[in-house]
Structure 1
């Protein structure tokens, strides 16, 4: 009972500090609820970054081969997680819309069905992954000394995929209800446990067996399983956020189709973003090593810069969904406009910092003079367009909240796959590596223009899809 009480006290203290228990998403000011929804998401993402860094640190101390195996395994893990993220968006959108409509019973039904569907999908994908992972790693060209380590790691992840998916569902369903503090607290506990377990299971400290890279996978799965258990306890009791019920988890084909309609485009959006970075390596790889190194540094800097925009997009997703559910279409649109403007201003200021202090930023990552010069050029091409990326992220969050996940996917994939990649290849063949950096700047601007133009088409008044499409949930 003591850990539960400690968790409850920590969560209460954070909720009081952030005042989330008194948030009104469908009335009153827009800035406060949006900030208070988004801030814990930023912290949650930072926890995930800390976990990734710690995991890489311990694996790197074990062996270089294990570190290389993680590099081969990561794209497959990310692909699986992207599928889970799509399903989680579907659940979050429907819970947000029903919550905003004041229909708690339908929100419970949507959450319960999403959890059940995610369990089934994760078990199927995990089973398939377990048996095909060795062939996939061989196809990707894993070296003989790396191959067996990567297979061991991926098979553990495949067997534990249900826990990874389930935890994503918990975070998203709570966010759809309007609670981002509780998932942040649970994530914190999971990350701390994962980091603590890593060396014991990898190196065989104390009474634990020496499991090597497989131990890192076991630590990840176990910590996520425990976090999911806590999350399910929160949702089954209904003490915080949305409640789930076993009676609502019976298979419902109509609802499963609705989850897929919303979730698959969201999965495509996430996967498309990741693939665009990987495919860009085909263009970058045509240039000398210093250019490749500068590209790696630049993309890592961008991932940190855009973290607030990603969090705000999730906050907008929740606010749009709840206001659309409540029939407050004008407020949903106003929240989207406010977020887009705020992100444009904030990230433009960050862009000024990135332009002026480009050298100190790049110097943090490398001391190679040639890489520093190229990295500065990258930053100075892209930094002036940071604000435009904030606009695209904000509006895409609003589209997802409106149930328009396909719209968000088309804009994201079009920006990266139709504009950025071809432009990078064509421009770099004419003006060299500067053409790659130019493609980032141009695609950021065009992505923002496309998102704004689509927003102007009055998305909100045609967005009431979840309430119409979901089967009626009746009380027992």
Structure 2
């Protein structure tokens, strides 16, 4: 038996829950790790090029994340529709959903890039980029803005294949992308030569070109795979003519997902304003802690994506009880795994922080941060599992509400109030400025967010989340297409 299973070997609507969810989620974990390696490659080579380039990428990365968050919605919408039509045994409708998603993702990202290109410089200046850093950061972001259609195209490929239940193929394509980017980075950044071929020394702009080029290749490979129909979902040229009636359905599902991603990004940046009120050692400790969290939570993010697909396919198949079971299995499993990881980190946080720093003040504060938050890790798993279920049901607005409420409505105000000593009572550290108030806010928001997600899921509002509807293509109902091809 192979360790990874292809989409054709996975039946997400019948049999056990744990095995298909595992085989669906594991490649997503690896894909996300490869994405992390992708970012580390840029940071590694730019750090050796110049300090200004490294600072420029520090300003550019959050903006890239924000742009991607704005475009996240269409990929989520496409994934949900493909999953539900696949579960319902409606391949032609799934293909139409995938084809329309590709079309509008390309058009939307091109428009976003055109709007963003002239604005990145002023925005980076507003965010505080110094005169030494601003030119490099602007050059990087302008290349990214021009390349947004290719970057979005690759993310849409990943999402559509996942909706069909294939997470292996995107993982393999991502691996090739990372290898290509790692190879190109030093040549385009430093101007290295291969024999008679000399590359120009482009600095940070070279890193952006390497990123866009490698993602462009990945997008083309993804489109070829989907057009061939040999893996996962198929797209059809005849179905790619813009259907603005169908765009409305994509936006109904996708806009809340974009709001969720954008709200998450903005909440994180606003929290930095609170952290920045403290010493450099606190800021550094916060940065180390959040990087540790990003690795620890990779399984939760991957399983949430797996739950999204399983929920979508089972809702499409009318198997609501099975969709519910998948959510609870994922929530319980993630809680157990992440809670165990949290307990281990609680007892030995210092060795983890020491990997990143030998500064005694940062080491002490970072250790304290991990201890405060680690025992709430399991609750993150619960929240991620149920929000994945809501997305799979097409209830992206609920998923967005839970995420934004947790981060902006709970964590951010508690972090400010508890850390600034504005509570006029002598309760623990609340009566005077203390960074522990921020760590306390993480713990509270993780626990409360999990409870909110669980209670909301228990209400059962996700059960009316079948977002499928008849699709028109060239005047022919897609049910007729399914019948003509012999598909049930």
Q: Same fold (TM over 0.5)?
A: yes
Match of 2:246 in 1: 255
Match of 1:232 in 2: 223
Match of 1:193 in 2: 180
- How do 1:169-188 and structure 2 match up within 5 A? 169-188=156-175
- How do 1:39-78 and structure 2 match up within 5 A? 39-78=26-65
Match of 2:467 in 1: 465
- How do 1:150-161 and structure 2 match up within 5 A? 150-161=137-148
Deviation at 1:297, TM superposition (A): 1.0
Match of 2:286 in 1: 295
Q: Cα deviations across residues 169-202 of structure 1 (Å, max 9, x unaligned)?
A: 0000000000000000000000100010001111
Match of 1:368 in 2: 359
- How do 1:79-94 and structure 2 match up within 5 A? 79-94=66-81
Deviation at 1:84, TM superposition (A): 2.3
Match of 2:125 in 1: 138
| Native 8 Å contact 1:258 1:469 kept in 2 | no
Match of 1:455 in 2: 457
Deviation at 1:276, TM superposition (A): 2.0
SS in 2 for 1:466: coil
Count matched residues: 462
What is the root-mean-square deviation of aligned Cα atoms in Å? 1.5
Deviation at 1:339, TM superposition (A): 0.3
Match of 1:439 in 2: 441
Deviation at 1:203, TM superposition (A): 1.2
Deviation at 1:257, TM superposition (A): 1.1
| Native 8 Å contact 2:5 2:168 kept in 1 | no
Deviation at 1:468, TM superposition (A): 6.3
Inter-partner Cα distance in structure 2 for 1:72 and 1:424: 24
Inter-partner Cα distance in structure 1 for 2:256 and 2:179: 33
Is 1:385 equivalent to 2:376 in the alignment? Answer: yes
Inter-partner Cα distance in structure 2 for 1:365 and 1:17: 33
Inter-partner Cα distance in structure 1 for 2:277 and 2:462: 45
Q: Cα deviations across residues 106-161 of structure 1 (Å, max 9, x unaligned)?
A: 00000000000001101101111112222222222322222221221111111111
Deviation at 1:469, TM superposition (A): 8.3
SS in 2 for 1:131: coil
Structure 1: give runs of 5+ residues left out of the alignment.
1-14
Higher share of residues assigned helix: 1
Is 1:111 equivalent to 2:113 in the alignment? Answer: no
SS in 1 for 2:277: coil
| Native 8 Å contact 2:393 2:463 kept in 1 | no
Match of 1:417 in 2: 408
TM-score by length of 2: 0.92
Inter-partner Cα distance in structure 1 for 2:440 and 2:384: 20
Is 1:275 equivalent to 2:266 in the alignment? Answer: yes
| Native 8 Å contact 1:43 1:184 kept in 2 | yes
| Native 8 Å contact 1:99 1:177 kept in 2 | yes
Deviation at 1:358, TM superposition (A): 1.0
Match of 1:7 in 2: none
Structure 2: give runs of 5+ residues left out of the alignment.
422-428
Match of 1:19 in 2: 5
